[in-house]
Amino acid sequence: MKDSRLVQLYKKLEEKGLGALLITNPHNVFYLINRWVEGWILLAPSGKFFITSPLFGEEVKKEVDDWQIIIWKNHIEKTLDKLLRNLGIKKLGFEASSLSYAEYQKLSELKVSQLVPCEGLVEELRVIKDEDELSSIRRAVQITNLAFAHLENLLKVGITEKEVSIEAAHFFRKKADKEAFPSIVLFGERTSLPHGKPTQRRLREGELVLLDIGAQVEGYCADLTRTIFFGEVDRRWQEIRSMLIQAQEEALREIKPGVKSSQIDKLVRDRVKKSGYLNAFIHNTGHGVGLEVHENPVIAPKSREVLKEGMVFTIEPGVYLAGEGGVRVERMAMVTPEGGRILE
């Protein structure tokens, strides 16, 4: 699978008339070498090179096969400059969004005639998941569902948001690689904060509990949200949650190759609007999940993306009433030839 990724990248490199492509985004580096190791990749017609720190040199030489490993000394830019001169590279593509201004300034000093900013070349490949990636994502989802059960059992009057979020982190460290992102744990009126940070707020009887959590397995993430009723809550919240689940299920039935992601967003948004809560639905309907928690495709009103087989993304409608509370339901789905399939 990794070889096919490189074949496609080399094809893109040729189409753009580049002498070489420099890959510096850590997630894109992982995608190509399957290791979280500090370093840059240089793809050139004459070979594929991984430039890394002396701190990782021995590890990389043992674990990364079929790559020419170059250990930089003192300054990675000087090592890259020497390599480019030896290869005769004059036109270098680079990932503009993953470099700081200071790093770009150093790149501009390289002895190449042209630096070409290239966006999305690797990300376009990452949006379609292969079977190995899907297997890791499924496992991450399964562990996340186990975490929900564990955390729900911990809920009791007086426990704090921070205590639950810390337990989530410990659970994912034990059962997975780690948590995919800092867990969002909110109680009561604070559930109206879509991405609120856990505090010392204590849980009381009859309150909403919002858990937005995810495991990371072999580099791949899960991202799921449940809104739990701790005791008896106002009937309005029950109706809102039922409506959001219904909107989510309607959207999942419409997922199939060729459908615009904006159509999925519109279907969900129309259902929320019908219930009178459109102004309280303040974010996109969903986003891609993979090596990053938020990646393409984006399920949003103005998105131009078309769904393709192998895409994985969330469907997460929510209603947030400031000072009162909020409800969000989030599941992950993949696009198959037959339609959408929930990852469980």
Give the tens place of pLDDT for each residue, 45-97.
999 999 998 888 888 888 888 899 999 887 888 888 889 999 999 899 999 98
pLDDT bucket at 184, cuts 50 / 70 / 90: very high
What is the sign, positive or negative, of the torsion defined by CA atoms of 169, 187, 317, 300? negative
The span from the CA of 306 to the CA of 56, in Å, is 40
**Half-sphere exposure for 10 (CA within 13 Å, toward CB):** 12
In this structure, what CATH number is given to the domain that contains residue 324?
A: 3.90.230.10
The C-alpha R_g of the chain, in whole angstroms, comes to 23
In this structure, what CATH number is given to the domain that contains residue 44?
A: 3.40.350.10
Name the residue range of residue 297's domain. Answer: 131-342
Mean pLDDT of all residues belonging to the chain: 95
The span from the CA of 221 to the CA of 215, in Å, is 6
Residues 119 and 136 in one domain: no
Residues 191 and 250 in one domain: yes
Out of 106, 126, 146, pick the residue that ends a domain. Answer: 126
Check residue 62 and give its pLDDT. 81
Residues 122 and 135 in one domain: no
| pTM for this entry | 0.94
Number of domains in the chain: 2
The span from the CA of 320 to the CA of 214, in Å, is 21
Residues 61 and 158 in one domain: no
Which tens digits make up the pLDDT trace of 150-168? 999 999 999 999 999 999 9
Residues 48 and 147 in one domain: no
Out of 97, 126, 155, pick the residue that ends a domain. Answer: 126
- Rounded to an integer, the average pLDDT of 239-268 is 98
β-pairing, 184-187 vs 68-71, is unpaired
pLDDT at residue 111 is higher than 90:
no
Residues 198 and 269 in one domain: yes
Residues 85 and 136 in one domain: no
295: helix, strand or coil = strand
- Residue type at position 87: L
Residues 244 and 312 in one domain: yes
- Rounded to an integer, the average pLDDT of 220-246 is 98
pLDDT at residue 37 is higher than 60:
yes
Residues 6 and 54 in one domain: yes
Q: Which two tokens stand for residue 114?
A: 């042209």
By residue count, the chain amounts to 344
- Rounded to an integer, the average pLDDT of 210-220 is 99
- Rounded to an integer, the average pLDDT of 209-214 is 99
Out of 61, 91, 126, pick the residue that ends a domain. Answer: 126
Residue in the structure block whose two tokens are 């087989």? 309
Residues 190 and 323 in one domain: yes
